[in-house]
Structure 1
Amino acid sequence: MSQQIVAFTGISGVGKTTFLRRLAKLIDFQHVTGGSLIAAAREAAPEARDAIRYADLDDNQRLLVQGFALTRDPNSELVVMDGHVVIDDGQELAKISSEVFRALGVSVMVHLETEPERISANREGDTSRSRPTYPSDILLQHQLISRLHAQAVADSMAIPFYIVTHNDTEQLARLLVAK
């Protein structure tokens, strides 16, 4: 069996987990999140995942790869890693190296995008998380930086890159099943 590993990316609050819950109703896959992988490798409580963004980036990425190795189900034909290509620590956007995605064995890069107003509303509405808040123009800029970096990562790895919106669940399901 050849396992397909998809990096499902987008900025914090774009709705990645919500999108993937809808996708799970259409196709079978193992869903893992970057924060939970790092927390698993750190042996940290899941509620501590927001504080992870302020930890050393290189250490976090090493732990992400380690957590993926611990968590990935080798019997799953499709694994979707819900995460980021840029990390917002409240002061800057740090870009994740393509080497991290290479170490995970990513074969497809998908970037979820939506209107900045929706991102802002998602961030404000999710009281279980602590994320930086920004005006719409900054969120739009962050989303563009994330998209461009996701594209650069995919290009450097010579893997397919797709941009999706919340209206593209069925199209992504068909695409991933066809691979």
Structure 2
Amino acid sequence: MTICFQRWHNMKKIVFIAGIHGVGKTTFCKKIQEDVAIKHYSCSSLIKANSEYIETSKAIDKAERNQLVLIEALNQISDKKLLLDGHFCLIDKSNSVLRLKDSVFESLNLSAVVVLTCDVKTIHSRLKERDGATFDIELLQQLQDAELEMAIRISSKLNIQLIHYHSGEPLKKITAFISTL
């Protein structure tokens, strides 16, 4: 089954939009879609729609199972070019940074990675406003550092383009790059 999935999946152009909760992945993807005809999917939405997943907090306890659900959900998508927003790292139930396995990203067969970063105090405020609760600033900084580190490692390992976007920068280079895929 995995071999068949990977062969079919190879035809897709998937740009992975990575970043921690509250960094602005959804807003970023909407802005990209203003200039580029491309569909946007959220990893968490795909997981929720294809499993019994119930989010009670941003801390997770079934990361591995969720990633298998994600891979199967992507298999059902017919779009040939898409933005997929998600995470390289999450917070586990013990409030520690959890790095997802490299094999997950190898299975996704990504074409490029755009990692978003932002001042963690801004992220902290966004999460508090949006969700009513958040992690402390130090943990958010550890998570964002790990996310960037994983983005660098995975894009290098997969030999794909990595773009680091810091909140507020112009999008022209990124939209131009995505248009060429």
Pick aligned residue for 1:88 from 74, 77, 91: 91
8 Å CA contact 1:15–1:122 kept in 2: the answer is no
Aligned residues: CA RMSD: 2.1
Q: Report Cα offsets for 1:98-133 as digits up to 9, x if no partner.
A: 221221221101100111111111101213xx7642
1: CA distance, partners of 2:13 / 2:80: 6
**1: distance between equivalents of 2:143 and 2:59?**
16
CA offset at residue 169 of structure 1?
2.2
Q: How does 1:1-179 map to 2 (within 5 A)?
A: 2-44=11-53, 48-49=54-55, 51=57, 53-70=59-76, 72=77, 74=78, 76-90=79-93, 91-127=95-131, 132-135=134-137, 137-166=138-167, 167-179=169-181
Q: 1:132 to 1:125 in 2, by over 3 A?
A: closer
Q: Give me the whole-angstrom Cα distance separating, in 2, the residues matched to 1:147 and 1:63.
A: 24
The alpha carbon displacement at 1:61 in A equals 1.0
Structure 2: gaps (5+ residues): 1-10
Letter in 1 for 2:65: D
Where in structure 1 do 4 or more consecutive aligned residues deviate above 3 Å? 48-53
Q: Distance in 2 between matches of 1:49 and 1:112?
A: 23
SS of residue in 2 equivalent to 1:59: helix
For 1:64, the aligned partner's letter is: L
TM-score, length-scaled by structure 2: 0.84
Gaps of 5+ in 1: none
